[in-house]
Chain A
Amino acid sequence: MGFLTLNDIHHTYFTKTSATPALRNINIDIKEGEFVSFLGPSGCGKTTLLSIIAGLIQPARGCAMLDGKNTGKTDSGIGYMLQQDYLFPWKTIEENILIGPKINGTLNHAIKTETLALLDKMELRNVLTSYPKQLSGGMRQRVALVRTLATNPKLLLLDEPFSALDYQTKLKLENLVSSTFKTFNKTAILVTHDIGEAIAMSNRVLLFSQRPGKIHKIFDVPENLRLLSPFEARHHPAYNELFQVIWKELESLEPEE
């Protein structure tokens, strides 16, 4: 049994006039320290699955277990990063990054020092008293990363965190996230519809098909790519090879629509 186990998860969305199956038969085992990507067309239930893992919604059937505990419980040790930074505009950067420990009541001097040091490591200096709107998009997403890491989560869920950024910033941030997670040996799940990003960042790529969302195929990223930083990986021949394979697989999914 893995660090994170998704056991036979099913989910359905209901409206007055319809019941839409969103997820079917999701079984995944993720090891500690692993970086896994969920890749798939929009509407394949990736974000729904992420919300289930985070314990924000209850699946219709099945369960998500992290370290042997159901993730639905509070204090589950999961960090969640969204498509946009969602920093609170009325809080200073310092208040923003310390909101996690403040909410779960663990805020103390040591955690504060640690979090501020992390901010420093992200090359964000002299921003503590600034407000989010005074920062650039890339800086804000780095602050959001610090905020997510401040509670020292065991598992990080990244819901297309780079999609709102310009290309250059996105590449830089990919490197930063990748190296940070490797340093702290964090387990992470990245949701994306960018094949390149999925290959460059992860150990495994899970390809989802849609309606209802299920795991279509699993690709293991070759060892030599994993050891490279995302930016370097993008220039490796093995990267292109895998890209083509996944691309074809994605194309084969489309006629089903």
Chain B
Amino acid sequence: MNPKNETEQLHLQYIKRLNKGHKQIRFYQLLIFLAFFSIWELASRKNWIDPLLFSSPSKIWELLQTKLTDGSLAANLGITLTETVLGFILGTLLGTCLAALLWWSPLLSKILDPYLVVLNAMPKIALGPILIVALGPNLTSIVAMGAIISIIITTIVVFTSFREVDHNYLKVLQTFGATRFQCFKEAVLPASFPTIISTLKVNVGLSWVGVIVGEFLASSKGLGYMIIYGFQVFDFTLVLLSLLIIAVFATLMYQAVELLEKKLIKNG
């Protein structure tokens, strides 16, 4: 066998091993998934757990089908999803803009520092009632909840990343006579993309919290409303159905952010 062929053989073996490992991981992931739902179903039918409280996958599935056919699920999901995506984008965008403003003016950042700490420490959810009264019990106030919950933490994390950009990158640009805006655009912002992306990932979760709590408080539509309604009429199948749907869509949003990460960070 000539050496080139041998290398190719070894490479093929390597790929085979890699695929095998991959398949193994997928297998166990699927196993956990199936085991979870089967045991849940079984435990519910055998009354090992209270079927009223914990419902069962089959009942949730049936409810899903009814809700899909009467169109109420799509409507509720659409509303919540819109609110969450808007809140998420708004929170991240405003947070990043605020961070940019603080970077722009070191004086402002020093002045605002204690206020940021206070605002960050305060539970934003507690602002819910005020927001709802101020903006009305509608989409606006719930989007505001989704945004407000992530805005301050985004500002703090992104601003820290802006400040920690290696000063020598700025030095390079300054020797070319770069303005502060050019420094920001060419070095500070792109250097901070990895941090901004990881903030996005955190914000996906936060926005869902904000929006669901907002719907608890005010709404007559949406998944948060479905949960509260299910709780009030003691229909925990409805609660669990909403919860599962939230889990699925939160994951999808997270995946979308990862896709964006791949596009944005080309040199990674």
* Chain A residues at the B interface, C-beta cutoff of 8 Å: 54, 56, 74-76, 78-80, 82, 84, 86, 88-91, 99-100, 103-104, 131-133, 147, 151
Contact = CB atoms under 8 A, between A and B. Distances in A.
B176 A99 contact: yes
Query: Which 9 A-B pairs give the minimum distances between C-beta atoms?
Result: A74-B177, A80-B175, A103-B176, A131-B267, A100-B176, A90-B190, A103-B178, A86-B168, A104-B177
Interface string B185-211: 011001101000000000000000000
Interface of B: 166, 168-169, 171-178, 182, 186-187, 190-191, 193, 265-267
A90 B173 contact: no
A89 B191 CA distance: 8
Contact of B174 (A56, A75, A132, A133): A56
A88 B190 contact: yes
Given A56-B175, A74-B177, A100-B176, A90 B193 contact: yes
A103 B182 CA distance: 7
Contact of B171 (A82, A100, A147): A82
Given A99-B173, A100-B176, A103-B173, A84 B168 contact: yes
18 contacts: A74-B177, A75-B177, A79-B175, A80-B175, A82-B168, A86-B169, A86-B172, A88-B186, A89-B267, A90-B191, A90-B265, A99-B172, A99-B173, A100-B176, A103-B176, A103-B182, A131-B266, A133-B267
Given A82-B168, A99-B186, A104-B177, 11 more contacts: A56-B175, A74-B177, A75-B177, A82-B171, A88-B186, A89-B267, A100-B176, A103-B182, A104-B176, A131-B266, A133-B267
Contacts of B178: 103
